[in-house]
Structure 1
């Protein structure tokens, strides 16, 4: 079955009205192929991986299109294609004949003669089917399919609603006088009674939070940003996922999500988070005290409030002046040059811009890059979609389009992936935080493109999430480390990053506050997906919110602030925390994966010193937020 002679993306122009038709053709062809499945181990793996490959190419490309395409017709047709393929895959995952063929193949005398990768893929496929409820009676299997469909639709609707909410006029009314010099940017916004409506999460609202001396204006924006809306949708998703987990034999969705992870269970994740919290507390308290002293120096001796933090952090960081000054050396082009330099020096690979085929790109601003070896062989293709535009549903994400695979004719399928960002058009100087995000996603992309698996089933980022997050965090190092950053950060005038800015960048002020914010979001994720709602979603919202508040009891401290630590740090409500949809039960990985890159960095610098340091170090340090092996040992990993 050959559906994709080149790339699905190159066929957008002709397929616009036929997205679902292509998916339907693939599903019908897959049904025919699976109807004659072999019980010989290698033949069965080749068959299943081939069918999966064809279906994933369609579904993955359609998933990208429905999240980024500027035309609604494409989005609707792509959504229908995703649904068609997802429904079929759900049925296949509950096909008893196919499942029995896998069991026979795994227990056959020939199983030991196939490669370790083939054994792993076949075993993983069988276990995955068991996770989908293959062992269930027929009525329960049908229920499982319906729940999977409901989960996918709820997830997409929640993310779509988040986008519509942020694009709407909802926000905070603030005194026009509180904007100061920023008032020029408020033209065109709704105004009444000398007040202006700032859309929440807008660049202007963010600037007011950081720079306005008006505590009242900051309070209103803070409450608009952190307040909840449409929580019933999240509770509905929670109920569906908990029901699915129970059908699959797991105590909760968190247990299911962590079944193949390095930490293995919510208990170990909780242990890790508590260990991290105990290491972070002293540094956090010290940083909050600095902010309290800064507030007092402005003539306000009252305790810190949540709306004070962005303002005071901005003031204190300005004293270091590193972020604004370093931004002069960070442009989109300099980051691309950094990627070229990293891949060339470390891996001997070229990162080159390629000419796209007609109709291959979904917007004129999208760029196509190739990853090539020293013989000019194409190893992988990366599509970069960097800029903001109407219709984009994601701010920063990777979409795998084609995994690594050896085809039936012996040739290798070229991995393809896309990175999507939301840079404002016309912005030249980028923040260090965006540079971190950019390199984080580049790490995911490189992982996908350099995967040389025989089968696509577990290629690239299709592995367990806490392992998958390691390369992305490793690539963050190329921004965090001053020497690495200086190797490619160049101003528009061609000047390199000065030595004094390199030294200042190493200090990373207020890294403990940032790490604790991430830790508390991980706590939200764990608490949310270990809670079992009972009754209608609208009646359960308050109960879920109380459960989340209770989960923070272990993560409080006495400090120079009013209210709870969670209120101070301004965590978003579940309805605005989109990682609960994408990475439900696994958000801890972002914190967890700061540890290995730190250890690798230090091993490379000095292996002997690294060994001694691992015996004595804490989990966290001032520069990186994390280091050492304590969290690993306490979590039994």
Structure 2
């Protein structure tokens, strides 16, 4: 029906940590689209609970909300209040739906009622989704879980309400349909289709099968993505592996490989006394193949045998997880067919920018061709480096010294970057304090949009930790710099928060005048939360039939969002880590912002998430259903990739990057940074392409004739994907002119499918990252590169953000370009977006064999 949660993005971001790109527990959970959602609390959580998108706040800036509590939710002062708030929201939602059901054939009443119900429930559920991920106290996290489950169970029942479904159908056939705005028509259609995806229109055995498949899918997803899968590994007891899937390495080897004595001492072990105690007995340590020590061996260990051992352990299949993936695939393929689609990937792409799987594959194959030349140059540089390293160790001479193996690539790229870019990266980090980066955000808002980010002092009890920052987006052109949205920043590493980087939408843009006219109950005080009166509300959103009434003052719900990161503190400034509290909050926060300095990669991720944040905060839709980032994944990822350029473009960095003395980076440093910022970019991009093709191959496996399983023998999943990619030109071949053991796919790295959780989170849409990277590079070159802070292009970008995700297509993106350049983006052929600007970026950092 109407729900979609902001949770998805958080899960997605957690996935980024492992493979470089994300999306969430699972578009399939949402009957509708692949917005930004998150993992449900348990296998029983709601199927349509896919997109509350985090929202909340006070009812007007400058006014203290009576009883305002955590996140300005009214009355939320103690953990039990969360469930009470959820019960209030559910009660009022039932009343609104009752009113809607007594107005059959009146589409405007129905669509606004459903949007108000969704908005009301999301205010509670999205808040709870954030809190259960970030609050330091377990009782609050548990209470937030309960609120999520209560709201999601209600949504389950609404999604199967046959009376409501019939009202939606009759509304679409009503003579009053023409009086709706385009936004209302789109939302009405989406709501009806979402209910159908849950099987509300089916009867008898078909309905029972649909419900079973939905429940089974949720259960399997939860099982696959849980973190105890290592315990179910079945690995033979050989010299280097444990039955639990752990990796066995002699303690002495770890020390020789450069692992610190402290880290070695902390590992589980079997055998004699520790080498650290000068005992001659051998000690074998147990490593998690995906753990930090194993990663250190893979990326920094000079022992090739150990690297191979780690690589093979990481890529060993997990039989139980393979069975789970095939069960999930069976459920999804069958559900897609019941919904009238050929397969799951076709269903997943139905509202995307690229809407056909064949077009996705065509685009990815073009990328392979485009990247091949630069990839070969990068691999040759690595082969030469390997030969040099082996000569330095006295391992002889000859042509075989530089033969590349798959487990060499992480180590050699790390060594090359260390030799040629480490000094540059280290120098740049001195200029990338969090304060400098926030100054950069201010520059972007002021220059591009004519807006200000204003630091606010949170109300008592409003934030969950003293280190959480709060900003309001203000428009200086409006009376008293009227606030238009709110941003929370939870940036610093602390226990038990475990989110590398994620955006949580808390409140969405919405015109509240209709629900006020109908006098609907909207959660009591919840209905006043984060509301302002604003003139010209629909200055960018589609106009309604009321015409001039839109330009009068209307009650409007301001967007609110939270950005959560896990940045480590400067140990010299905070040797004990982040304090639990601070008597002088502002002084401590100032010190945190000044002393926390990010490397280039983290700064890039920070601005990536700020792209999502800005899309949410500047949304001006009349309904919340498609506000902000609630759209197709290959559309909503475009702004985030565009924003990365603000922290990788040397010209932009000059505007805000500052060292401790307030000095900008020198031209020499920026020049060296420019040459190395995309080092081994072809290799990284080709890896994303390989992963995307693997995603497509997985969802191309067909069902058996009886529809009860897929046409694949047990234990053959990995081989099937390898064979599929092996048939691709270039990928299945040995890289030309590069001494290597294996094909391009082998060297680039195809993960074990049982470790590739993106098959769950993306489900046929993993291509979105490389697609949006390339699209963003084209738009940046054409419109931003000459004047990144230009107000004219900034206003066009603001117009795009104002439309939220009402239309997820290239037609919207091309409006950023000047008239004569718009032809470069063909709405009907998105797979043909220009590749050259992205390729030029990568080519600027090809290995030169000289230090930068």
Alignment check: 8 A CA contact 2:160 2:200 kept? yes
- Residue of structure 2 equivalent to 1:495: 663
Runs of 5+ consecutive residues of structure 2 not aligned to the other structure = 1-54, 59-68, 232-243, 275-281, 392-400, 517-553, 572-595, 787-817, 826-831, 845-852
Q: 1:181 to 1:87 in 2, by over 3 A?
A: closer
Match of 1:173 among 228, 233, 249: 249
Q: 1:59-74 alignment to 2 at 5 Å? A: 59-74=125-140
Kindly indicate whether the alpha-carbon contact (under 8 Å) linking 2:56 and 2:127 is maintained by their aligned counterparts in 1. Answer: no
Q: Are 2:519 and 1:419 equivalent residues in the alignment?
A: no
SS at match of 2:741: coil
Match of 1:543 in 2: 716
Query: 1:612: how far off?
Result: 11
For the structure 1 residues 388 and 579, does the alpha-carbon distance in structure 2 shift closer, same or farther, using more than 3 Å as the test? farther
- SS of match in other structure, 2:841: coil
Aligned residue for 2:95, secondary structure, equals helix
Equivalence for 1:589: 768
Query: How do 1:501-520 and structure 2 match up within 5 A?
Result: 501-507=669-675, 508-520=678-690
CA apart distance, 1:290: 0.9
Structure-to-structure mapping, 1:84-99, within 5 angstroms: 84-99=150-165
Shift of 1:581: 3.1
Deviation, structure 1 residue 380: 1.5
Q: Which of 701, 710, 725 matches 1:531?
A: 701
Aligned to 1:126: 192
The answer on 1:313 being equivalent to 2:413 is: yes
**For 1:238, what is the secondary structure of its paired residue?**
helix
What does the per-residue CA deviation read over 1:520-543, in whole Å, with 9 as the maximum and x for residues that have no partner?
121222223333577789x96623
* Range 432-441 or range 564-573, more displaced: 564-573
Give the match for residue 381 of structure 1: 486
Note the C-alpha offset of 1:600: 1.8
The 2-side partners of 1:55 and 1:616 are apart by 39
Q: 1:340 aligns with which of 426, 442, 446?
A: 442
Note the residue ranges of structure 1 that are not aligned, 5 or more in a row: 628-637
Give the whole-Å Cα distance in 2 for the aligned partners of 1:364 and 1:533: 53
Query: Does the 8 Å contact 1:158/1:234 carry over to 2?
Result: yes
User: 1:171, 1:200 within 8 Å by CA — same for their partners in 2?
Assistant: yes
Distance 1:199 1:494, change over 3 A: farther
Q: What CA deviation, in whole Å up to 9, does each residue of 1:117-152 have, x standing for no partner?
A: 222221222233333333321543344344434444
Alignment of 1:233-252 (within 5 A): 233-252=324-343
Q: Name the CA distance, whole Å, in 1 between partners of 2:634 and 2:714.
A: 30
Distance 1:459 1:478 in 2: 24
Does the alignment pair 1:219 with 2:308?
Answer: yes
Corresponding residue for residue 144 of structure 1? 210
Q: How far did residue 417 of structure 1 move?
A: 1.4
State TM-score, norm by structure 2: 0.67
Matched-pair contact (CA < 8 Å) for 1:328–1:491: yes
Deviation per CA, 1:48-106: give whole Å up to 9, x if none: 10001111222222222333333444334433432332333233233332222222222
Structure-1 separation of matches of 2:454 and 2:99: 43
| Matched residue, 1:110 | 176
The corresponding residue for 1:447 is 615
Output the CA distance in 1 between the equivalents of 2:672 and 2:694. Answer: 33
TM-superposed CA distance for 1:626, in Å, is 10
- The 1-side partners of 2:140 and 2:714 are apart by 35
Deviations 1:575-613 (A, max 9, x none): 443433332221111011123222222222577997999
Residue 654 of structure 2 is aligned to residue 565 of structure 1: no
**Against the structure 1 CA distance between its residues 10 and 574, is the aligned structure 2 distance closer, same or farther, given a 3 Å change threshold?**
farther
Change (3 A) 1:360 1:183: same
Contact kept in structure 2, 1:254 and 1:529, CA below 8 Å: yes
> What is the rounded CA distance, in whole Å, between the counterparts of 1:299 and 1:455 in structure 2?
63
**Secondary structure in 2 aligned to 1:422?**
strand
How far off is 1:327 after superposition? 2.3
When residues 21 and 609 of structure 1 are mapped into structure 2, their CA distance, relative to the original with a 3 A threshold, is closer
Contact 2:506 2:560 in 1 (8 A): yes
C-alpha separation in 2, matches of 1:394 and 1:171: 26
Q: Please say if residues 471 and 488 of structure 2, whose CA atoms lie closer than 8 Å, have aligned partners that are also in contact.
A: yes
Residue 439 of structure 1 contacts residue 476 of structure 1 at CA under 8 Å; is this kept in 2? yes
**1:259 aligns to 2:403 (yes or no):** no
By how many angstroms is 1:467 displaced? 1.0
Provide the secondary structure at the position in 2 that maps to 1:161: coil
Cα offset for 1:293? 0.8
Question: RMSD across aligned C-alpha pairs, in angstroms?
Answer: 3.4
Residues 55 and 144 of structure 1: CA distance in aligned 2, closer, same or farther (over 3 Å): farther
Give the conservation status (yes or no) of the 8 Å contact 1:594–1:626: no
CA contact (8 A) 2:646 2:652 kept: yes
What is the match of residue 86 of structure 2? 23
Helix, strand or coil for the counterpart of 2:664? coil
1:282, 1:83 → 2: CA distance?
51
Please give the secondary structure, in 2, of the residue aligned with 1:262. Answer: coil
Change over 3 Å in CA distance of 1:4–1:345 after alignment to 2: closer
Task: Name the counterpart of 1:466.
Answer: 634
CA shift, 1:571, in A, is 4.1
Instruction: Indicate conservation of the 8 Å contact 2:430/2:659, yes or no.
Output: yes
Deviation string for 1:341-396 (max 9, x for gaps)? Answer: 21121112222332223332233333222222214222212222223344435322
> 1:564: how far off?
4.0
Quick one: distance in 1 between partners of 2:200 and 2:819? 51
Tell me, in whole angstroms, the C-alpha distance in 2 between the residues paired with 1:355 and 1:164: 45
Q: CA 1:420–1:171 in structure 2 vs 1: closer, same or farther (change >3 Å)?
A: farther
Match of 2:167 in 1: 101
Moved more, 84-93 or 608-617: 608-617
**Is the 2:507–2:559 contact (alpha carbons within 8 Å) kept by the matching residues of 1?**
yes
Q: Does 1:522 align with 2:692?
A: yes
Does the Cα contact within 8 Å between 2:778 and 2:835 map onto a contact in 1?
A: no
Query: Does 2:188 correspond to 1:9?
Result: no
Relative to structure 1, the CA distance from residue 556 to residue 434 in structure 2 (aligned partners, 3 Å threshold; closer, same or farther) is farther
Q: Does 1:365 align with 2:467?
A: yes
TM-score by length of 1: 0.88
For residues 10-34 of structure 1, give each alpha carbon's deviation from its aligned partner in whole angstroms, at most 9, with x where no partner exists: 4596452354454344334323321
Aligned-partner Cα distance in 1 for 2:780–2:833: 17
